[in-house]
Amino acid sequence: MGQIILAENGARYGQLPISQVHDEIDLARFEHEVENVLKHNPQAAIVNCIGRREGSLDLMKVLNVGIPEILVRVAKRFDAKLIHFGSAAETTQSVQKASEGIHPAPAATLTYGTTKRAGTDVCLTYEKATVLRVYNLHGLPHQSNSGLHQLCRSVRIALDGGAQPSLIDTTRDYVHWRAVLNALNNALDFNSNGLIEVCSGFGIAMSEIIEGLPLDVRTQVAEQLKPPDYFAPVIGPHHTLGEDATNKSNVVRALSDEVTTCASSG
pLDDT in tens, 126-137: 999 999 999 999
Percentage above 70 pLDDT, the chain? 80
- The helix (run of H) or strand (run of E) holding residue 196 is strand 194-198
CATH number of 136-175+200-237+245-266: 3.90.25
The residue type at 48: N
pLDDT tens, position by position, 138-197: 998 888 888 898 888 888 888 777 666 678 888 999 999 999 988 998 898 877 789 999
Rounded CA separation 64/106 (Å): 25
pLDDT for 100 beyond 60: no
- Provide the whole-model pTM: 0.85
Per-residue pLDDT, 99 = 45
- Could you name the CATH architecture of 1-134? 3-Layer(aba) Sandwich (3.40)
Q: Boundaries of CATH 3.90.25 in the chain? A: 136-175+200-237+245-266
| Distance of alpha carbon 176 from alpha carbon 19, whole angstroms | 31
CATH 3.40.50.720 residue ranges for the chain: 1-134
- Give the DSSP letter of residue 24: G
